[in-house]
Every structure is written in structure tokens, then in C-alpha cells.
């Protein structure tokens, strides 16, 4: 045969290989094809094709492998078992940028499924190779490498530590400064995943100067970038007071409050999460956020969103109110209590209701003023209902009981307390009656109201063991009123009177 014919044979083979790889990678995009491909033994074939001479076939094979591993756990494990990882890691250092992108994609899809698979990736030297990729010029390669590192670091603290030990953090901070938005997003997301596990990791991220760069990106118009930036800042600030103070010193706060009006839901949720993580440490940090108007904006945000998105906002209100009495008053003045009442009536999930009950307890337990503000929105009745409801979870019941007790011990607002005399278990009734016994001796108008609204009647109907504190409170209440009225309202008085009538002889 002539030379041209021989070469044609080779070209045909190359074309068919290329077509195969291309088709497999296109098929791998659909989940229904994956099992068929797996059964047909695509893994070993792709493994051989990754060692192919032609670079485009190598790249497409790697891409196909990545897509397959992405879809399911078993395929990712198969990738590891077949020993493809060391090959990939070696070639990451040598080949061109398209191959690097595809190889980083494979590593990412393997690492995302479980910590064990990520450990395999780390053990085969993948982390060092990916960090080398972060030093490349091409932004696509950097993005793929950063993404893979993010998925590895996401699982647990030791994997994050191995990522940090490979020196990834300064390179990631440099990636934050690049002009491409996608690269910034991925770098922010990876920094967030690294710093979420322990304070030491967060400190490493902060020492690399990440906070200043993240703070600059807050006013960027891209919504997904803002999500990742706020998530990163909240993961950093959640660990300790000093980290939270460093985040605040970056002057994000008046600007971040404006992001609460962003149309994207998750941006708002992440801003609220950041505020919650900062606020929970000390009263001074809460003061900073309250002073820049953050409280009012969060309360408005609670009115606009639904479901799980409300949870960080509710917890933030609870943490702020827990620190001191004037912060709790600030929450009340910013119209927090009616908003919480609304949330309580709208939400049905038990964990959200438990969070609302806890926050209300934190707001109301400081002084009688606060308890009055809570009681006047009829929240005491609702808390009682939550406590008494048999279908509430244990956590919800415990939290609502604790909140109710702590508010009742300070409540002197009698119209709010009166509904609580009816159908109440005795451990709560004790507190209610105790409060009445404290207020009634001093206030004559309250005594009159108590009689006319039927409260005195109800108190007489309570039977308590003699000598118990409940009986003492009832006696204290009875001693505030003249005997005739007490006798009049005591149960069975009409029978007593009728008996007297039977014995009476007209003169």
C-alpha cells in the first residue's frame, strides 16, 4: 500500500476514537444514560483513551470521565479504584490548559461525593497539583482548580487543613483580585468552605488578608458573587469575638444593610446570617449593628420572606435582645414584636417556631416594660398554645415553656395575664397567680377590673393543696378583697344560700 493509504488508516482510527469520545461525553450529560454506559464498561475504555497521543482526545476523554463521576457515587469510586487518579495528578503538572481544566473537573467530581473519596484525592497528591494549577495564568484553569479545592475542603476540618497546608490560601486571595467574575465567585466560595470548620482555619484565611478584599466586593452588582462573599464573611466571623471584630473593622456595615434590599433571596439570607454571627458574641458588636439601622431592615426583611429564609433573622433578633435590656428595648421599638407574632402565625415548621419562641423569651424577660410589650401582642396565649399542643416537638415545647416562665416572672400587665388563668397547667398557673398576688394589693383599679372580668371567680375555682405556694398566692389575693365578695364568688355559694333559705322561718 502507498504511504497515503497507510496514513489514511491511522487518520480514520483517530477520527473514530475522537467521535467515540465526543459521543460518550455528550451522552454523559444525561442521567438516564449513565447506567447503560457503566454497564458497557466505559470506565476502562476512557482510562485508556486518556493516555492517547492526540491532545484533543485526551481532553475530551477527561471531560467525559468528569461528567460520569459527577453523576453518581459508584462511578466516582470506580474512578478511584481503577487507579486513574495518580495518572491525572501527574498529567496536571505537564499538559496544556484545556487538559488541566478537564483534569481538575474530574478531581472535583470525584471529591464532591464523600469525605473518603476526597481523602483518596488528597492521598494521591491531588491537592498539591491543584495548588500548582492556581498559579497558572489562564482564569479557566484557576477556576477549575479552586472549585476542586473547595469541594475537598467542604467535608471536614482535616481535609481543609490539608488544603491550607498545601499553601492554597494566599493563591485563593490573589484569585479574588482577578477581573473575571466566575473566578471571584469560586474563590470566595472556597474560602468560605475552608474557614467554616475551626477558628484556626478562619484565622489563617484572615491572616492572608482576605477580609479587605471580600469587603471591597460587597457592592459588586453580581448576585451570586455577593452570596459567596457574605457566606465567607459569616463563616469567618462565627468562630470568635476577635474574628468578628476584624470583620466589623473592615467597615462593611452601613453598606451591607443596603444589600438587604437585593432582589436575590440568598444574598439577603447570607447578609442576615452574617449579622447573626457577628451579633451573637458581645453587646458592643450588637450595638454597632443596631446603630447603623440593621435591626429595622432585618425586621422588614422578615416581613418579606417565607420559610427557612426567616430563620437567621429571627435568631439575630433573639441574640441582640439577649445581651442587655436596652438592646431588647431597641428591638421592641423597631417593631420587632408584632413582626415575630406574624411570623409565628404564618410559619408551620417546628424548628422555626421554636426559634421564634426562644427569641420572644429573650426579648420579654428583662423588665416589666418588656414583658408588657410582649403580652400586649397576645403572644403569651400563643406561647401557651404551643406548649400545650400535643403535636409540638419536644424542643418546641421546652423552649416555649422556658420563654413563658421567664416572661411571666416579670409581667405586671394584668389584661395580658388574664386569659392565662383559664385552661392552664398548674406549673404555669403558679406563676400567673403569683404575679396577680404581687400587683393586686397595690392597685385598686386593677382589683375592680379583676372582679368584673371574672378573674376572682376563676381564682376561687382553683383548688390547690394547702401549704403549697399556689395556695399562699391565692390567700394573698383573697386578702385583698372584702370577705363578702370572696364568699360571693366562691364555688357553690348559690347552694349554700339556698340551704339557708330552706332553714329560714319567716317571722
Partner 1 sequence: MAEQLKIKSEVEEFKKEYFYRNSGAMTKAIKISEAQLNLRHIEPTTKATYFQAEENRQRDYQAANRIQSWFRASKVRAYLSHLHKKAIIIQRIWRGFTARARFRQMVKAAYFIMKMNFYEAMAVRIQQRWRGFFVRKHIHNYYARKSYLEGLSKKNELVRMELAELEELQKRERHCVEMVKEQTAKVYQAHRLHHLLSTKQCPGVFNSPFRPAPHEMEILLRQVKYQAPTRLDPRGRACLMGMLGPTAPSFPGTLGSPWIKTTGTCCSSKPILPPISSKKQQGLFRKPGEVWEQRMLCPDLTLRLQTSYTHLEEAQNQLQHKGTGSMLHHLRHSSNSFTQPAYAKSFR
Instruction: State the residues that interact with partner 1 by CB under 8 A.
Output: 257-258, 260-261, 263, 290-293, 295-297, 300, 326, 329-330, 333-334
Nearer to partner 1, 91 or 270 (CB): 270
Burial 194-208 (b: 16+ CB within 10 A, else e): bbbbeeebbbbbbeb
In sequence order, what are the residues at sequence separation of 6 or more whose Cβ sits closer than 8 angstroms to the Cβ of residue 79? 43, 65, 68, 69, 85, 106, 110
**What SS3 state is found at 490?**
coil
Which cell goes with 241?
Answer: 469575638
Cβ-contact 320, 288 below 8 angstroms: no
How far is 363 from 276, CA to CA, in rounded Å? 16
CB of 290 to partner 1, least distance (A): 7
CB of 229 to partner 1, least distance (A): 18
Nearer to partner 1, 326 or 442 (CB): 326
CB of 260 to partner 1, least distance (A): 7
Nearer to partner 1, 326 or 468 (CB): 326
Nearer to partner 1, 225 or 257 (CB): 257
DSSP of 303-358: HH--GGGGHHHHHHHHHHHHH-HHHHHHHHHTTHHHHHHHHHHH---HHHHHHHHH
Nearer to partner 1, 31 or 254 (CB): 254
Which 8-state DSSP code applies to residue 178?
S
Which 8-state DSSP code applies to residue 412?
-
Using alpha carbons, select from 309, 300, 302 the residue that is nearest to residue 349. Answer: 309
- Please compute Rg for the chain using Cα positions: 34
How far is 461 from 483, CA to CA, in rounded Å? 16
CB of 136 to partner 1, least distance (A): 20
Nearer to partner 1, 330 or 446 (CB): 330
CB of 296 to partner 1, least distance (A): 4
CB of 454 to partner 1, least distance (A): 37
CB of 256 to partner 1, least distance (A): 12
Nearer to partner 1, 96 or 326 (CB): 326
CB of 214 to partner 1, least distance (A): 22
Cβ-contact 411, 371 below 8 angstroms: yes
Nearer to partner 1, 89 or 289 (CB): 289
Amino acid at each position: 500500500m502507498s504511504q497515503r493509504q497507510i496514513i489514511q488508516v491511522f487518520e480514520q482510527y483517530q477520527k473514530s476514537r475522537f467521535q467515540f469520545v465526543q459521543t460518550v461525553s455528550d451522552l454523559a450529560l444525561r442521567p438516564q444514560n449513565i447506567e447503560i454506559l457503566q454497564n458497557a464498561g466505559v470506565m476502562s475504555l476512557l482510562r485508556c483513551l486518556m493516555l492517547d497521543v492526540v491532545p484533543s482526545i485526551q481532553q475530551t476523554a477527561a471531560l467525559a470521565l468528569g461528567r460520569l463521576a459527577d453523576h453518581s457515587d459508584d462511578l466516582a469510586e470506580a474512578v478511584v479504584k481503577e487507579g486513574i487518579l495518580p495518572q491525572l495528578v501527574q498529567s496536571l503538572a505537564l499538559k496544556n490548559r484545556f487538559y488541566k481544566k478537564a483534569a481538575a473537573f474530574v478531581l472535583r467530581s470525584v471529591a464532591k461525593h464523600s469525605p473518603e473519596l476526597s481523602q483518596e484525592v488528597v492521598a494521591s497528591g491531588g491537592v498539591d497539583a491543584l495548588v500548582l494549577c492556581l498559579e497558572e495564568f489562564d482564569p479557566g484553569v484557576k477556576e477549575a482548580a479552586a472549585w476542586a479545592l473547595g469541594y475537598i475542603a467542604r467535608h471536614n476540618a482535616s481535609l481543609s487543613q490539608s488544603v491550607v497546608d498545601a499553601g492554597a490560601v494566599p493563591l485563593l486571595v490573589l484569585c479574588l483580585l482577578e477581573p473575571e467574575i466566575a473566578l471571584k465567585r469560586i474563590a470566595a466560595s472556597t474560602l468560605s468552605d475552608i474557614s467554616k470548620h475551626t477558628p484556626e482555619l478562619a484565622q489563617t484565611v484572615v491572616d492572608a488578608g482576605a477580609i479587605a478584599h471580600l469587603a471591597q466586593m460587597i457592592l459588586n452588582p453580581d448576585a451570586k458573587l455577593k452570596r459567596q462573599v457574605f457566606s465567607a464573611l459569616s463563616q469567618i466571623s462565627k468562630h470568635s469575638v476577635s474574628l468578628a471584630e476584624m470583620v466589623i473593622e473592615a467597615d462593611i456595615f452601613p453598606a451591607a444593610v443596603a444589600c438587604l434590599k437585593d432582589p436575590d433571596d440568598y444574598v439577603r439570607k447570607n447578609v442576615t446570617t452574617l449579622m447573626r454571627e457577628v451579633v451573637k458574641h458581645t453587646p458592643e458588636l450588637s450595638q454597632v449593628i443596631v446603630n447603623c439601622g440593621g435591626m429595622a431592615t432585618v425586621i422588614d426583611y422578615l416581613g418579606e420572606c417565607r420559610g427557612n429564609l426567616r430563620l437567621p433573622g429571627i435568631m439575630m433578633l433573639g441574640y441582640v435582645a439577649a445581651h442587655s435590656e436596652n438592646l431588647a428595648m431597641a428591638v421592641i421599638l423597631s417593631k420587632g414584636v408584632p413582626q415575630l407574632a406574624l411570623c409565628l402565625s404564618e410559619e408551620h415548621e417546628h424548628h422555626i417556631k421554636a426559634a421564634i419562641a426562644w427569641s420572644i423569651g429573650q426579648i420579654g424577660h428583662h423588665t416589666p416594660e418588656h414583658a408588657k410589650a410582649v403580652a400586649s401582642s397576645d403572644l403569651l396565649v400563643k406561647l401557651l398554645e404551643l406548649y400545650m399542643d400535643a403535636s409540638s416537638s419536644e424542643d418546641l415545647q421546652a423552649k416555649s415553656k422556658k420563654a413563658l416562665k421567664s416572661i411571666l416572672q416579670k409581667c405586671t400587665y394584668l389584661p395580658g395575664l388574664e386569659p392565662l388563668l383559664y385552661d392552664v397547667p398548674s406549673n404555669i398557673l403558679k406563676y400567673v397567680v403569683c404575679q396577680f398576688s404581687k400587683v393586686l394589693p397595690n392597685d385598686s383599679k386593677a382589683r375592680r377590673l379583676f372582679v368584673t372580668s371574672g378573674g376572682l371567680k376563676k381564682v376561687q375555682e382553683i383548688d390547690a393543696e394547702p401549704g403549697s405556694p399556689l395556695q399562699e398566692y391565692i390567700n394573698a389575693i383573697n386578702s385583698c378583697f372584702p370577705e363578702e365578695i370572696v364568699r360571693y364568688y366562691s364555688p357553690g355559694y348559690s347552694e349554700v344560700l339556698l340551704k339557708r333559705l330552706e332553714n329560714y322561718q319567716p317571722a
